[in-house]
Chains A and B, each alone.
Chain A
Amino acid sequence: MRRARSHSEIILAGSGGQGLILSGIMLAEAAMLEGKNVVQTQSYGIASRGGLSLAEVIVDEEEIIFQQVRAPDCVLALSEEAAKKYESWAARGVPMLYDSTLVAPRQGGNFIGRDFTRKASDLGNAGSVNILALAAVAAYTGVVNIASLEKLIRKRFRGAALDLNLELLAAGSELAAA
């Protein structure tokens, strides 16, 4: 795990409908639980499902002036289109966590492929890949503590949904460590 800096920038990219904007919101809220300032922006197309969709999250202990990511600490890519858009960044040293269930394998030190969607599917809900992948990003970068995400999940969900999301959280952290 990398050490959290006072300023972190994360890009969560994939297809419309994968829930990445919700992941961005949850990441921002988890950082707020840790007393940090956050900015979350998004870029999306006209379709509610499909097309490139991405959320950017900046976390800082100080005021965040420019709202857009300039030097990401990590890129999450949950679709081939997203991976293509950001793969040149990996060459410049930006680690890319990508979903090897959906994205063609990438070679190189900064590409980290994990079976996010398959794992989420095994746990009973491929549609919740956004939570699992978010956990992996958090575990990998240390942008927020897993404990903060857990606290947030316990606030947001009840019953079976809570159990599932806690499982996704644990699975995501494990995948990042693997």
Chain B
Amino acid sequence: MKAVATLERETRLLQGNQAIAEGAIYAGARFYAGYPITPSSEIADECAKRMPELGGMYIQMEDEMASIAAVVGASLAGAKALTATSGPGFSLMQENLGLAVMGEVPCVVVDVQRSGPSTGLATKPAQSDIMQVRWGRHGDQSVIALCPATVRECFTLTVQAFNFAERFRVPVVLMPDEIVGHMRENVALPLPGEIEVVDRKAPAGPPASYLPFKPDEDGIAPLAAYGSEYVFHVTSSMHGTDGYSNNDPANAAWRVRQLHEKIERHRDEIVLTQSYYTEDMDVLIVTLGATTRAARTAALEARAQGIKAGVLQLQTVWPFADREIAALGKRARMVVVPEMNYSGQVAGEVLKALGPGADIRRVNKFNGTIITPQDILDAMLRPAGAQTQGNQP
């Protein structure tokens, strides 16, 4: 093995989508199955080139349903696997993503968010899949979702997405907006060994007594790979610890609770946020994705005008950072929530975290253009109770 110290850290001009592919490879992903869709296709292009070079595989499937299905299949055969898409394709993946939740199959899905509804503005950004990511599948279930704001975060949060997927046996959605997916920045990528890479827990006992859905004390069951000495069943149907169908109500209740609790009990480890200028703030901006950058600029410009603004960036979107927001929100006289959607998908969760009575100011843009620092400043300066929806031209 090459010693880390001898490797030169190389600064590259990388696109967000490329950095996601690089992050996946760094995390050990060697299987990509996907179907091209704007604005995610550069991830496919990069993986098509790199995966076979590394002994892995890129396979272009016939649609998004097949893409996520192949990813789940490969993961159960032992691969770290990913697919990438955008809103319309992500909608198509939902049913099979539900199987990944039910079967506790580690995998990463990238949803580079674009403007909708439907085909919408195919090349323009949005942050409107926040609820689709959380609730898009039928049945009551949890996933983890992360959202990068920079090209570097595209890389690091992809590694983190794989780590969470492997550690918690759960699909993880990485949800950059089109701006971040297509943006290029100079980045010095981490060297091998610099960021921890987590692999799924393998079974250790005698193969005959392996139960693929019996959690250890940490709430997570070990996962074998097809082809090992551990033979196992995975099913989309309700099942017991042995992976075989089981219709018993007590078992069903235990399974559904287990799927939620394995994430809830580790939420402090999973909820990643980044704070800027919050030490003395009395105006809080809660933000995610590319909008973080407008929010930081707005906070600095507000400070130049004597308003002590701070920023909380939600790197983890789901589970939601309700406690972190509540802790900071207590110190703020006003909370501004800028997001590229109409309905205030993040703002609604912020309201849940802070309770009625909080002065929450929504800034919503849903025309395919970005939220600017000025949009956020305007929201801070307007009288309490007045809601605007950004500068819609």
A interface, CB within 8 angstroms of B: 24-25, 28-29, 32, 37-46, 64-68, 70
Instruction: Judge whether B297 and A28 touch: CB under 8 Å.
Output: no
> Known contacts being A66-B293, A66-B296, A67-B293, is A32 close to B183, with CB within 8 Å?
no
- We find that the number of chain B residues with CB closer than 8 angstroms to chain A is 20
Instruction: Judge whether A38 and B293 touch: CB under 8 Å.
Output: no
A64 cross-chain contacts in B, Cβ below 8 A? 185
Instruction: Judge whether A41 and B300 touch: CB under 8 Å.
Output: no
Minimum C-beta distance from B17 to chain A (A): 12
Known: A38-B185, A70-B373. 14 other contacts (CB 8 A): A28-B184, A29-B13, A32-B13, A32-B186, A40-B185, A41-B179, A41-B183, A41-B184, A44-B123, A45-B123, A46-B122, A46-B123, A66-B293, A70-B372
B370 at the interface (CB under 8 A from A): yes
The 8 Å CB contact of A38, one of B13, B182, B296, B297, is B13
Instruction: Judge whether B183 and A40 touch: CB under 8 Å.
Output: yes
B179 cross-chain contacts in A, Cβ below 8 A? 41, 67
B interface, CB within 8 angstroms of A: 11, 13, 38, 122-123, 179, 182-186, 290, 293-294, 296-297, 300, 370, 372-373
Q: What are 20 pairs between A and B in contact, CB < 8 Å?
A: A28-B184, A29-B13, A32-B11, A32-B186, A37-B186, A38-B185, A38-B186, A41-B179, A41-B182, A41-B183, A41-B184, A43-B123, A46-B123, A64-B185, A65-B296, A66-B293, A66-B296, A67-B179, A67-B293, A70-B372
Give Cα A47 to B372, complex, Å: 26
Instruction: Judge whether A28 and B182 touch: CB under 8 Å.
Output: no
A44 cross-chain contacts in B, Cβ below 8 A? 123
What are the 4 A-B residue pairs with the smallest beta carbon separation, nearest first? A66-B297, A40-B184, A65-B296, A32-B186
> Known contacts being A29-B13, A32-B11, is A42 close to B293, with CB within 8 Å?
no
The 8 Å CB contact of A68, one of B38, B184, B370, is B370
A38 cross-chain contacts in B, Cβ below 8 A? 13, 184-186
B182 cross-chain contacts in A, Cβ below 8 A? 41-42
A28 cross-chain contacts in B, Cβ below 8 A? 13, 184, 186
